[in-house]
Amino acid sequence: MYVVELTFECFDDTTVSAVDLAVNGLMDALRYNGQVLGREFPMVMGDGQFHVRAVCPEKDSLNPKFHSPQVALKIRQLSEASLLSPKLKVLGRDINSEASAEDTPRSWQVLYTTYVHTCSPLRCGETLLPIPLHRLPATFNGDHKAVVKWQTEWQACDEIQMAGSFNAEYAALAEIQDADSRLFRKGWDIRGRIEYLTKVPTYYYQYRVGGESAESELERKCPKCGGDWRLDSPLHDVFHFKCDDCRIVSNLSWDFQ
**Residue 83 confidence class, pLDDT cut points 50, 70, 90:** very high
pLDDT band at 73 (very low <50, low <70, confident <90, very high): very high
Do residues 129 and 231 both lie within one domain? yes
- Helix, strand, or coil here: 235? strand
* Residue range 34-52: mean pLDDT, rounded: 92
Nearest Cα neighbor of 179 from 206, 155, 201 is 206
More confident residue, 153 or 255: 153
Residue 8 confidence (pLDDT): 96
119 with 62, same domain: the answer is no
**DSSP assignment of 79-124:** GGGTBPPPEEEEEEE-TTSPPPPPSS--S-EEE---TT--S-SEEE
- Residue 202 contacts residue 195 (beta carbons within 8 Å): yes
| Of 42-51, 61-70, 101-110, 220-229, minimum mean pLDDT range | 42-51
Condensed to tens digits (0 to 9), the pLDDT of residues 240-254 reads: 999 999 999 999 998
Q: How confident is the model at residue 3 (pLDDT cuts 50, 70, 90)?
A: very high
User: Long-range contacts: 198-202, Cβ < 8 Å, 24+?
Assistant: 198/109, 198/136, 198/137, 200/106, 200/107, 200/108, 200/109, 201/107, 201/108, 201/109, 201/125, 201/244, 201/247, 202/108, 202/109, 202/110, 202/111, 202/122, 202/247
Alpha-carbon distances, residue 169 vs 149, 158, 162, 176, 182 (angstroms) = 20, 9, 8, 11, 16
Q: Is the per-residue pLDDT at 210 higher than 90? A: no
Q: How far apart are CA 109 and CA 226, in angstroms?
A: 22
Range of the domain at 61: 2-93
Q: 136 and 208 share a domain?
A: yes
- Residue 72: which pLDDT band, with cuts at 50, 70 and 90? very high
pLDDT grade for 212, boundaries at 50, 70 and 90: confident
Query: What is the average per-residue pLDDT within 105-116?
Result: 95
Quick: pLDDT tens for 120-147.
999 999 999 999 999 999 999 999 999 9
The predicted pLDDT at position 257 comes to 80
206 lies in some domain: yes
196-208 average pLDDT score: 97
What is the DSSP pairing of strand 122-124 with strand 109-111?
A: antiparallel
Average pLDDT over residues 163-185: 91
What b-and-e string marks burial along 36-71, b requiring 16 or more CB atoms within 10 Å of the CB? bbeeebebeeeeeebbbbbbbbbeebbeeebbbebb
Q: What is the mean pLDDT of residues 204-219?
A: 92
191 and 146 in a single domain? The answer is yes
12-35 tens-digit pLDDT: 988 999 999 999 999 999 999 999
Query: Same structural domain for residues 185 and 231?
Result: yes
218 and 130 in a common domain = yes
- End residue of a domain, out of 62, 93, 124: 93
If asked whether residues 151 and 240 sit together in one domain, one would say: yes
The string of DSSP letters for 177-224 reads: H-TTSHHHHHHHHHHHHHHHHH-S-EEEEEP----S-HHHHHTPPPTT
pLDDT at residue 6 above 90? yes
Query: What pLDDT sits at residue 255?
Result: 84
Assigned domain for 143 exists = yes
d(CA 111, CA 124): 9
Predicted local distance difference test score (pLDDT) of residue 224? 94
Structurally, the chain folds into a number of domains equal to: 2
